[in-house]
């Protein structure tokens, strides 16, 4: 037991602080698996791993490796673990993480069979109206495992170069060449699996793929490896940049695909997805330019198409890969586009059929809500072969996000998110993609792939409970190292409590459950407070965890959070590192929790 003093005016307040000691439940388990001398040998540890932690694949080599690492960190010299060293092992997230840390999903299925970690307006640092455009958020997203980067392409003021810009706003601009180089340098630092770049292009004719009627010779200056090289070519400027930067990394299918290759076969490859160009006038300017400004100012408004389907203005302007209006891309440009983008034309009958080439359909969150209410099952069937991208509605000018579950429950692979925020839905997105070793690709559940009843997700309340998740919260540590001692309370140590809840399909969602608050302690111990959650669709369930400091005046102070995919949880005692509001991992803050997953048998 230690003490901490806080000065208040001319007085000092003293507090007794709990020391770092194992909770009673941990001590009891240690006694069951240690020898008569209070030592947990490698054999004892292996038995603990197999019986209590349910790590059936563990071997004696696994146990010996843990002993060596704990010995290295704690400088002990005996042949096994004593209780304090066992306790420190349990709180080591490298050795005892709550999630599986390696890629373990089947990565050999077609790419459309996976949820993909997807960014929206990946170059923006802040809001959608007046923030800075930069390569920094692109790099940060790639380091976090994002696998789909979105770039909006526009001509510069002189019409001789390409910029990335959120058109019609006061956001700044960044050169495309700079973005492409950053992507190449960081594309595979967090994941070896394919990186998809979606181009939303608004380019003048001599900068973009032009129709077959006109082949434009363009004299351009392309910077290659930070040197200048003069080139005369018939290829449009954006094609040159893509080829010069990515070279052999580009995946360029020789013909239209009816089934896209697997993530495994595309390791280390760059995949380009975009649409056909919009019409241009003879002067090279966009036809009906005023409609673009109108679109930007009213993105949050729903338009009626043929009186049957509602689409946002942004979707109306998006090109249709199957509607070429008598125009064709140059072969060079077409060959670098692996996934052609299309639009929804107002009816389920206009969804590309399974017999057509693989395509990408984009729609806003609002449009998706309308479509799934009418054509939910058809949409799931569409996503079994093709790609569905969902993006935030235009009124989210603060770069907020939406509930991603509506996309995931209907098979949408690319649920596009603004990555620069720090709200709840982004935490759900980050948590979901901590699964499968954080590689950015998650195999969809069987019921979304035609292996089961694809209607079950629409009426999950009619399903029986499949599993029950039991969660225990034992204790936490690390705030004293990662926060100033007056960060939470000016005159005393913090009063921490923990909260847990489930997010997922509607019938699995729960309200927050919480522990009691522990007064005036940097090392709160909640004595294994337990909570149970029955789950009907555990494949899409996530556990939200948060710690807060109780403030009697209101506005409890944030003390860390995490989001854990239930399907990836390892059972037994587990270390759960916490993250700040933006999703950056704290250096020391963590919880010791327990998880049990019980399958429910139906009569």
Measure the CA dihedral 584/414/435/396, to 10°. Answer: 30
pLDDT tens per residue across span 309-332: 334 434 433 434 344 443 444 556
Please give the structure tokens belonging to residue 481. 């190292």
The residue with tokens 């058809």 is: 378
Read off the DSSP letter of residue 507.
G
Question: Which range has the worst mean pLDDT, 335-344, 383-392, 480-489, 499-508?
Answer: 335-344
What is the reported pLDDT for 513? Answer: 96
Give tens-digit pLDDT for 34-75: 999 999 999 999 999 999 999 999 999 999 999 999 988 776
Q: Which ranges constitute the DSSP H helices of 116-175?
A: 136-143
User: Over 70: is that where the pLDDT of 453 sits?
Assistant: no
CA of residue 415 relative to chain centroid, distance: 9
Q: Is the pLDDT of residue 5 over 80?
A: no
The span from the CA of 171 to the CA of 418, in Å, is 15
- Taking all residues of the chain, what is their mean pLDDT, rounded to a whole number? 82
Q: Look at residue 519 and tell me whether its pLDDT is greater than 90.
A: yes
Q: Is the pLDDT of residue 20 over 90?
A: no
Distances in Å between the Cα of 307 and the Cα atoms of 303, 346, 349, 372 are 9, 8, 15, 17
**Exposure string over 88-126, b if 16+ CB within 10 A, otherwise e:** bbbbbeeebebbbeebebebebbbbbbbbbbbbbbbbeb
CA-CA-CA-CA torsion sign (301, 304, 309, 313): negative
pLDDT at 161 over 50: yes
As beta bridge partners, residue 529 has 473
Instruction: Write down the pLDDT at residue 308.
Output: 37
- What SS3 state is found at 361? strand
Using DSSP's 3-state secondary structure scheme, residue 366 falls into helix
Its pTM stands at 0.85
The ranges of the chain annotated as CATH 3.20.20.190 are 111-456
Q: Is the pLDDT of residue 276 over 80?
A: no
User: What is the DSSP secondary structure assignment for residue 540, as one 8-state letter?
Assistant: G
pLDDT at 96 over 60: yes
In CATH terms, the superfamily for domain 459-603 is: C2 domain (2.60.40.150)
> Has residue 284 got a pLDDT over 50?
no
Per DSSP, the three-state class of 4 is strand
Q: What is the pLDDT of residues 342-392, one digit of tens each?
A: 877 655 445 655 467 899 999 999 999 999 888 888 899 999 999 999 999
Residue 382: how many other CB atoms lie within 10 Å: 23
**Residue, of 280 and 264, whose pLDDT is higher:** 264
Give the pLDDT band of residue 8 (cuts 50, 70, 90): low
Q: Do the bridges between strand 195-201 and strand 270-274 make them parallel or antiparallel, or are there none, so unpaired?
A: parallel
pLDDT at position 10 over 70: no
CATH 2.60.40.150 domain span(s) along the chain:
459-603
Retrieve residue 469's tokens.
């998740």
Question: What Å distances lie between residue 64 and 80, 87, 572, CA to CA?
Answer: 9, 17, 19
> Does 190 score more than 80 pLDDT?
yes
Report the candidate in 250, 255, 210 with the shortest Cα–Cα distance to residue 234. Answer: 210
The answer, yes or no, to whether residue 577 has pLDDT greater than 60, is yes
Residue partners of 214: CB distance under 8 A and separation at least 6: 205
2 pLDDT above the threshold of 80: no
Integer CA distances (angstroms), 42 to 29, 47, 55, 82, 501, in order:
16, 9, 15, 12, 36
- pLDDT for 79: 83
Q: Model confidence over 127-149: pLDDT tens digits? A: 999 999 999 999 999 999 999 99
| pLDDT grade for 215, boundaries at 50, 70 and 90 | very low
More confident residue, 432 or 21: 432
SS3 590: strand
Sign of the torsion formed by the C-alpha atoms of 371, 374, 380 and 385: negative
Query: How confident is the model at residue 283, as a pLDDT?
Result: 45
Among the listed ranges 97-111, 153-167, 422-436, 566-580, which one has the minimum average pLDDT value? 153-167
Q: What is the pLDDT of residues 237-270, one digit of tens each?
A: 666 666 667 767 888 887 778 899 999 999 999 9
Spatial distance between the Cα atoms of 418 and 415, rounded to a whole number of angstroms: 10
**Under a CB-based contact definition with an 8 Å cutoff, are residues 588 and 477 in contact?**
yes
| Residue 1 near residue 16 (C-beta atoms within 8 A) | yes
Q: Is the pLDDT of residue 236 over 70?
A: no
Residues annotated as catalytic are: 120, 166
When mean pLDDT is compared across 1-15, 252-266, 460-474, 521-535, the lowest value belongs to 1-15
Give the integer Cα–Cα distance in Å for 253 and 357: 12
Superfamily covering domain 111-456: Phosphatidylinositol (PI) phosphodiesterase (3.20.20.190)
Task: Give the pLDDT of residue 282.
Answer: 43
pLDDT (0 to 100) of residue 300: 39
Looking at per-residue pLDDT, the higher value among 331 and 491 belongs to: 491
Task: Look at residue 17 and give its three-state secondary structure.
Answer: strand
524-535 pLDDT, tens digit per residue, is 999 999 999 999
Q: Under a CB-based contact definition with an 8 Å cutoff, are residues 547 and 482 in contact?
A: no
Percent of the chain with pLDDT over 70: 75
pLDDT of residue 293: 38
- pLDDT band, very low/low/confident/very high, at 305 (cuts 50, 70, 90): very low
């Amino acid at each position: 037991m230690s003490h901490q003093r806080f000065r208040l005016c001319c007085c000092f307040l003293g507090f007794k602080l709990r020391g770092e000691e194992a909770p009673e439940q941990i001590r009891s388990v240690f006694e069951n698996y240690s020898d008569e001398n209070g030592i947990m040998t490698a054999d004892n540890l292996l038995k603990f791993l197999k019986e209590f932690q349910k790590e059936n694949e563990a071997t004696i080599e696994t146990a010996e490796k843990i002993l060596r690492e704990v010995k290295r960190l704690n400088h002990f010299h005996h042949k096994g673990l004593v209780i304090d060293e066992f306790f420190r092992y349990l709180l080591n997230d490298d050795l005892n993480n709550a999630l599986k840390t390696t890629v373990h999903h089947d990565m050999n299925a077609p790419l459309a069979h996976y949820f993909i970690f997807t960014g929206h307006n990946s170059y923006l640092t802040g809001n959608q109206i007046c923030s800075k455009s930069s390569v920094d958020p692109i790099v940060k997203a790639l380091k976090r495992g994002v696998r789909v980067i979105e770039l909006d392409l526009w001509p510069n003021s002189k019409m001789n170069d390409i910029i990335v810009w959120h058109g019609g706003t006061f956001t700044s601009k960044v050169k495309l060449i700079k973005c492409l180089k950053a992507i190449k340098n960081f594309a595979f630092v967090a994941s070896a699996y394919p990186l998809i770049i979606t181009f939303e292009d608004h380019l003048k004719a001599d900068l973009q793929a032009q129709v077959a009627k006109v082949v434009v010779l363009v004299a351009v200056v392309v910077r290659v490896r930070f040197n200048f090289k003069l080139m005369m070519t018939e290829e449009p400027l954006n094609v040159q940049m893509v080829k010069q930067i990515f070279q052999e990394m580009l995946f360029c299918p020789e013909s239209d695909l009816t089934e896209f290759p697997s993530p495994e076969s595309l390791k280390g490859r760059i995949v380009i997805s975009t649409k056909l160009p919009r019409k241009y006038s003879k002067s090279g300017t966009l036809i009906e330019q005023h409609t673009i400004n109108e679109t930007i100012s009213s993105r949050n408004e729903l338009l009626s198409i043929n009186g049957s389907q509602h689409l946002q203005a942004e979707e109306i302007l998006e090109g249709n890969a199957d509607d070429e209006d008598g125009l064709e891309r140059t072969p060079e440009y077409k060959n670098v586009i692996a996934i052609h983008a299309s639009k929804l034309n107002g009816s389920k009958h206009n969804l590309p059929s399974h017999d057509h080439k693989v395509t990408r359909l984009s729609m806003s969150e609002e449009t998706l809500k309308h479509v799934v209410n009418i054509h939910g099952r058809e949409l799931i069937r569409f996503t079994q072969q093709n790609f569905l991208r969902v993006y935030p509605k235009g009124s989210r000018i603060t770069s907020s996000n939406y509930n991603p579950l509506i996309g995931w429950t209907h098979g949408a692979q690319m649920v596009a998110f603004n990555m620069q925020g720090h709200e709840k839905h982004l935490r759900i997105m980050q948590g979901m993609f901590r699964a499968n070793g954080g590689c950015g690709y998650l195999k969809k559940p069987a019921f979304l792939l035609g292996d089961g009843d694809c209607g079950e997700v629409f009426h999950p309340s009619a399903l029986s409970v499949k599993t029950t998740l039991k969660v225990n919260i034992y204790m936490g540590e690390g705030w004293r190292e990662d926060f100033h001692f007056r960060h939470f309370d000016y005159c005393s140590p913090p009063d921490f409590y923990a909260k847990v809840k489930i997010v997922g399909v509607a019938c699995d969602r729960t309200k927050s459950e919480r522990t009691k608050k522990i007064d005036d302690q940097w090392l709160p111990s909640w004595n294994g407070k337990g909570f149970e959650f029955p789950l009907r669709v555990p494949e899409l369930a996530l556990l939200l965890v948060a710690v807060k400091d109780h403030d009697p005046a209101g506005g409890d102070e944030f003390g860390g959070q995490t989001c854990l995919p239930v399907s990836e949880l390892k059972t037994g005692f587990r270390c759960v590192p916490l993250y700040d509001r933006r999703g950056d991992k704290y250096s020391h803050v963590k919880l010791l929790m327990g998880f049990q997953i019980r399958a429910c048998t139906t009569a």
